């Protein structure tokens, strides 16, 4: 990523951020992980209209851009859990401003 603080670089960062949060369901997934880590099945049940296939895709994308972390819990039964990284948590906090807007204006 171009680190220099130039007009062009900054707008690329904004566009990149808006591409990340623009993907359907991403913001809601981040919203649900903000308070605590969750298992795939828990997230899937919280967003009924989101298919398992799309949720799998979104989780992979979010993992790839360092917004969520997948951990394997080894004690029986072995299971995996998703949590926000610091980067993801900070995005979640920023998105809460959009949610406050929504509660007021929609």
The answer to the question of residue 18 lying near a second copy (CB under 8 A) is: yes
**Cα 34 to Cα 13, 55, 77, 96, 99, distances in angstroms:** 23, 17, 25, 10, 13
Cα Rg, the chain, nearest whole Å: 15
* Residues constituting the chain: 106
Among 24, 35, 64, 78, binds a second copy (CB under 8 A): 24
For a second copy, which residue of 1, 53, 72, 74 counts as binding (CB under 8 A)?
1
The two beta strands, 68-73 and 38-39, are unpaired
Task: Select from 28, 54, 55, 69 the one that contacts a second copy (CB under 8 A).
Answer: 28
C-beta of 41: minimal distance to a second copy in Å?
Answer: 19
Q: Is 66 left (phi over 0), alpha (psi -120 to 50) or beta?
A: left
Task: Say whether residue 14 binds a second copy (CB under 8 A).
Answer: yes
Q: Is 105 in the site for a second copy (CB under 8 A)?
A: yes
* Residues near a second copy (CB under 8 A): 1, 5, 10-11, 13-19, 21-24, 27-28, 31, 87, 90-91, 93-95, 97-106
């Amino acid at each position: 990523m171009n680190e220099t603080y130039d007009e062009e670089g900054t707008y690329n960062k904004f566009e990149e951020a808006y591409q990340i949060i623009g993907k359907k369901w991403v913001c809601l997934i981040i919203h649900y992980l903000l308070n605590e880590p969750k298992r795939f099945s828990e997230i899937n049940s919280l967003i009924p209209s989101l298919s398992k296939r799309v949720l799998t895709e979104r989780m992979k994308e979010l993992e790839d851009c360092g917004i969520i972390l997948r951990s394997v819990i080894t004690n029986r039964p072995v299971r995996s859990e998703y949590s926000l990284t610091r980067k993801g948590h900070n995005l979640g906090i920023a998105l809460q401003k959009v949610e406050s807007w929504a509660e007021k204006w929609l």
